[in-house]
Chains A and B, each alone.
Chain A
Amino acid sequence: MTTACKGFLDEQFLQLEELQDDANPNFVEEVVTLYYRDSARLILNIEQALERNPLDFNKLDSLMHQFKGSSSSIGAKKVKAECTLFREYCRAGNGEGCIRTFQQLKKEYATLKKKLEAYFQLARQVGPAETACRPK
């Protein structure tokens, strides 16, 4: 994990890197690519749900539960934190809180995507051993 990614990713990302081997040399990038592909649909669903009046907080909570699960699977620390906050607002029935948090979530999501793209580009240039963080 490069310095640029620190704070945005947690130890789960390191676990993913541990799974990379000769048989699965691009495992992390494949998982992350799938994550951004699948979660784009979830984000759209949440956006549409946030446009409804009145808000269906159960539906929003359920969608965010799923999104949090995916995000935590790749170690997306800040995205996960916003998911948790969003769900708290859902439980409180606070629509404005949900909308505000969702905007922040999308920012963190986009920022992480850029950082990961740069990370994988670097990994391709120097090789995975140089960029992965190996526990001592």
Chain B
Amino acid sequence: MSNEKRTSADFFKQVFGRTVNVKLHNRTEYIGVLAALDGNMNLVLEQCEEYLEQKLINKYGQILLRGNNVLYISAKFNQKQQQEEEI
């Protein structure tokens, strides 16, 4: 793991095209592929699933999420490996 300072701009660059889990202040989570992101944390997610309390409630082809609602954007690396380890 590098010890360079990683700002939000670096995070943005690294996270495009990845599957991310976006949690809102109201505890709703969105898991989808990150298509766009700006400095206000507005997001475009594709092939997105909407979860409330770990339960899937909706699926969307493409959504625009307003950034003021976002609590965090979580990215997974080595996704497949992680899932295998959990099993």
Whether both chains belong to one complex is answered with no
